[in-house]
Amino acid sequence: MQPGESMIVPPTEQDFKQHPALDAVIRGEERNPSAWEWGYRDQRVVGGTNVSYAESKALHDTYGPGGEHGLYPLLEYEGGYHVVLTTWP
């Protein structure tokens, strides 16, 4: 996915406060800029953390795929673009 293909959302301090996991993986203790996503040589995982089902659902509802094409919004923070992916066991 390229920045021009999806909506770009700059997260605010309120977003980080409302979603502590988002803060942790983008700029906090769970950030790991050296980790690479398996299977995709051009995509990098900058962080990951365990969250409750309620928080995972809230993140998916807020930053999950939307619009007529089902594209994920891109969160732009300090010149980097981030996609929020949530998984359930």
Predicted pLDDT at 87 = 75
Rounded Cα distance, 22 and 25, in Å: 5
Vertex 15 angle, CA 27 and 32, to 5°: 20
Rounded Cα distance, 9 and 72, in Å: 10
Residue 84 has pLDDT above 50, yes or no: yes
Residue 25 has pLDDT above 70, yes or no: yes
| Number of domains, the chain | 1
Q: Is the pLDDT higher at 6 or at 7?
A: 7
Which residue carries 């673009």 as its tokens?
81
Residue 89 lies in a domain: no
Nearest CA among 70, 80, 87 for reference residue 7: 70
Average pLDDT over residues 15-39: 80
The structure's pTM equals: 0.72
Residue 87 lies in a domain: no
Q: For the chain, what is the radius of gyration of the CA atoms?
A: 13
Predicted pLDDT at 1 = 45
Residue 77 lies in a domain: yes
Residue 47 lies in a domain: yes
Range of the domain at 20: 3-82
